[in-house]
Amino acid sequence: MKSALAVALLALGVSVFALLRTLDHGPDYTDEQRGAAETGICAAFDTVRTAVATNTNVEPPGGSGDIAGALATAANARVALFDGGQYLLARLDPATPADLAGEVRRFANQLMDIGAAATAGVPNTDPVQAERLREAEAASTAVSDRCG
């Protein structure tokens, strides 16, 4: 019984050491891998930013009396927001430089939060939604500045 406990404690110690070492140093990526990851996420960001800008600024067809057109326009905006966030997170390569990856995650999560709230009927004038929009804009600017 004592030897089993000693083996378990030793295994736990080795596991903790290995985990801390991995967290401390992380995997090493070549400059080429980091560059490719940055290029890829910047391209994905440009696609999402264009999709969001295009679909959230569309006027419903047929004027204010076209309920179906208004609903379709709103649905496209929500899809651009929510799916854009998911797309960015899915395209985020582990070799992406940490500072850029953090801003991309922040932007992607804000997009999904905005899209989910809009789907729930929260208007952009709601103070919490307005803050989400400001945060998304700040994150977008940070990614855009980084991607150049």
Residue 17 resides in a domain: no
Q: What is the domain extent for residue 127? A: 30-147
What is the structure's pLDDT at 119? 93
Consecutive sets of 10 residues in the chain, 148 residues long: mean pLDDT of each?
Answer: 57 56 65 96 97 87 75 88 96 96 97 95 95 96 94
Q: For 19-35, give one letter per residue: b (16+ CB within 10 A) or e.
A: eeeeeeeeeebeeeeee
Residue 24 resides in a domain: no
What is the structure's pLDDT at 2? 61
Residue 76 resides in a domain: yes
Residue 138 resides in a domain: yes
Residue 22 resides in a domain: no
Domain count, the chain: 1
Residue 63 resides in a domain: yes
What is the structure's pLDDT at 126? 96
Residue 9 resides in a domain: no
Residue 25 resides in a domain: no
Burial class (CB in 10 A: 0-12, 13-18, 19+), 74: middle
Q: Can you tell me the distance from the alpha carbon of 27 to that of 103, in angstroms, rounded to the nearest whole number?
A: 20
